[in-house]
Amino acid sequence: MKATYHKHILNFKRASGTSRGVLKTKETWYIVVEDGAKKGIGECGILRGLSFDDRPDYEERLRWTCANIAKGSDVLWEALKDFPSIQFGVEMAFLSLKSSDPFVLFPSKFTDHTDAIAINGLVWMGDEVFMKEQIEEKLAAGFDCIKMKIGAIDFEKELALLRFIRTHYDASKITLRVDANGGFAFAKAKKVLKQLATLDIHSIEQPIAVRNWEQMKELCAETPTPIALDEELIGITDVTKKRDLLQTVRPQYIILKPSFIGGFRGSKEWIDQVEALGIQWWITSALESNVGLNAIAQWTYKLQAEGPQGLGTGSLFTNNIQSPLEVRAGALHYNNQLDWNFNTDTLCL
């Protein structure tokens, strides 16, 4: 058995804004495991500036992983706890290696193209005109759940955009989610939560910065708008600490990004904890290429995750990996009449 790793720089079709700045490119890495004639492919989806494992020795750890690939998925997962995106890539690569089709990790009605996954339409930060343009595109495309990133422009203007949707569609027709990426101060967040409640907002992701458990606990206990923890989960690898966070803060939801929290195994640890506490969850990709998105989508379908999932980011890039994944009418489909085109010799480095 041998393994190699390969870098790919994904280029955004249009610069995409978050509360941390504007994204123009996205770095990702593929691990390819070979055992005789069989091949497995995994993606290590790192997001610089956000991923827990954004470290100077990242590539060195990839090199070590490939050199030690014969240790197997379970041993490597334990050894890579400080590198959750590599944990995910290794886990995915071994599942791919075992499969008769390297891109069908979890066979289901989804991969048979007889069922699809409901997803939210993502509206990126930008000026008022750009954000309204995106909202209208998502509504026209048939999405019944829209997620809007907030915190980039004046909040009153963002509220006006949300009101624009609500004047045409009530909560029974369109579900609205917002994502603050930790962008509000505690006092401001209290006001924001009340304002959002008047518009029947489904939830707000990470209203304040991470590691402020007592403040987040107070917000979650009093909020008229349900709160979802997102970035708060990143970097917590110990099961006991996961339980401590959830029991302390008691959020209404958590959001699972496998690339950020130790792959499927790390995500399942969170799911087991929140279900014991009656906390709900959904799954989101983290700007992976179609390789990682495909694996996350198949796993999500296998879990029968409830409600719209955050799995629609594959169309953002000009040089994504060609795949059977398609977004139609607010859902992600696996059109198995289409082919994959994964070739490490033609990746954009």
Which residues have C-beta within 8 Å of that of residue 117, sequence separation ≥ 6? 110, 297, 300, 301, 309, 311, 331, 332
Say which of 149, 157, 194, 302 is annotated catalytic: 149
The question of whether 302 is a catalytic residue gets the answer no
The question of whether 188 is a catalytic residue gets the answer no
Residue the block writes with tokens 């289901």 = 108
Say which of 138, 147, 242, 257 is annotated catalytic: 257
Q: In whole angstroms, give the CA distance from residue 211 to residue 208.
A: 9
By CB neighbour count within 10 A (0-12 exposed, 13-18 middle, 19+ buried), where does 103 fall? buried
| Bridge partners, 84 (sequence order) | none
Of 175, 121, 130, 181, nearest to 151 by C-alpha is 181
Residue the block writes with tokens 């492919």 = 41
What 3-state DSSP class applies to 182?
A: coil
Instruction: State both tokens at 166.
Output: 């609500």
Which residues have C-beta within 8 Å of that of residue 113, sequence separation ≥ 6? 333, 334, 335, 336, 337
CB 289 within 8 A of CB 325: no
Cite the active site residues: 149, 257
